[in-house]
């Protein structure tokens, strides 16, 4: 079950300095729209009925298997598939927009498989 909408994440965290780590665990859910794989990092766009947020998964945080599992989610194959994501709220460094990152064993995602 989610505890915040994407719009609530933006309202709560967009004012933070770029690249801020909050330590606040959040649970979000929505439709997976895009996945970008960049080596040991995966970026994804998740949209719920209120807004879109970026999800960030790093091999350094979730391990090789965790990164591979998340990278296998494919919006082209699961169009409009709902997923849930538990991660740590943070702001992106480039544009101060709220996002969620997967912090190791505490993170998880469901659906889209």
106 pLDDT band, cuts 50/70/90, is very low
Closest-CA residue to 59 (of 37, 78, 32): 37
* pTM > 0.85: yes or no: no
How, if at all, do strands 52-58 and 21-38 pair? unpaired
- The pLDDT value given to residue 18: 82
Tokens coding 45: 């766009």
DSSP structure class, residue 94 = T
Q: State pLDDT tens for residues 37-95.
A: 899 998 888 899 999 998 888 898 888 988 888 887 766 665 567 788 888 888 766 66
- The pLDDT value given to residue 69: 84
- The CA distance from 36 to 98, in Å, is 18
Tokens coding 88: 């740590």
- The pLDDT value given to residue 113: 40
- The CA distance from 107 to 65, in Å, is 13
Q: State pLDDT tens for residues 21-41.
A: 888 989 998 888 888 889 999
C-alpha distances out from residue 50 to 6, 15, 38, 86, Å:
6, 18, 27, 18
Residue 24 in contact with residue 86, Cβ under 8 Å?
Answer: no
How, if at all, do strands 41-47 and 52-58 pair? antiparallel
DSSP structure class, residue 10 = H
């Amino acid at each position: 079950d989610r505890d915040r909408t994407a719009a609530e994440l933006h309202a709560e965290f967009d004012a933070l300095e770029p690249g801020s780590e909050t330590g606040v665990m959040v649970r979000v859910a929505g439709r997976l729209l895009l996945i970008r794989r960049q080596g040991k990092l995966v970026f994804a766009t998740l949209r719920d009925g209120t807004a879109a947020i970026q999800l960030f998964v790093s091999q350094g945080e979730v391990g090789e298997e965790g990164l591979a599992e998340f990278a296998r989610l494919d919006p082209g194959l699961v169009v409009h598939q709902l997923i849930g994501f538990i991660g740590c709220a943070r702001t992106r460094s480039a544009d101060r927009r709220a996002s969620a990152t997967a912090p190791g064993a505490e993170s998880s995602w469901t659906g889209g498989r």
